[in-house]
């Protein structure tokens, strides 16, 4: 079974209906489920998603969205090893490093993100939502 760690921005694209990104992000999540991919979010992503959605739409809505997300995604832990690796990594953004090492910790086959440039140092494939769909069909 393939596994994929989704970056917080993909879920934010969906739940905030971000123009230009909503359709591809929604299609990527739907494709993952259709293909039986084990989907993860890092523990860091959960707090990011909650914070941004609460700020945009209120606490009640943020909690409802997290409940829906938890039905579709498992949580990849951010443990001491991930933190230690992130500290000494070449990633410019510490949060991206945490997500990356969280993906490594669950043996993810890829990371799905709208910001591929943030994962230049990744040893596993980093795919935009559109690319992820191609990947699932054996194209990448």
Which sequence spans correspond to the domains of the chain? 3-136
Please give the CATH topology (third level) of the domain spanning 3-136. Rossmann fold (3.40.50)
Mean pLDDT value of segment 39-52: 95
pTM for the model: 0.92
**How many alpha carbons fall within 13 Å on the CB side of residue 88?**
5
pLDDT confidence of 140, banded at 50, 70, 90? low
Res 2: pLDDT: 92
CA dist 117 and 100 (Å) reads: 13
Across 41-53, b (16+ Cβ under 10 Å) vs e yields: bbbbbbebbbebb
CA dist 12 and 98 (Å) reads: 18
Q: Indicate the range of 46-50, 55-59, 63-67, 118-122 predicted with least confidence.
A: 118-122
């Amino acid at each position: 079974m393939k596994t994929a760690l989704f970056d917080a921005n993909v879920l934010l694209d969906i739940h905030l209906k971000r123009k230009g990104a909503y359709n591809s992000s929604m299609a990527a999540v739907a494709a993952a489920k259709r293909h039986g991919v084990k989907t993860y979010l890092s523990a860091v992503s959960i707090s990011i998603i909650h914070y941004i959605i609460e700020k945009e739409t209120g606490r009640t809505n943020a909690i409802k969205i997290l409940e829906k997300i938890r039905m579709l995604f498992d949580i990849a832990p951010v443990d001491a090893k991930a933190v230690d690796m992130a500290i000494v990594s070449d990633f410019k953004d510490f949060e991206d490093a945490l997500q990356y090492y969280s993906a490594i910790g669950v043996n993810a086959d890829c990371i799905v993100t709208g910001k591929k440039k943030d994962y230049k140092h990744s040893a596993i494939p980093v795919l935009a939502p559109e690319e992820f769909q191609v990947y699932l069909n054996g194209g990448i």
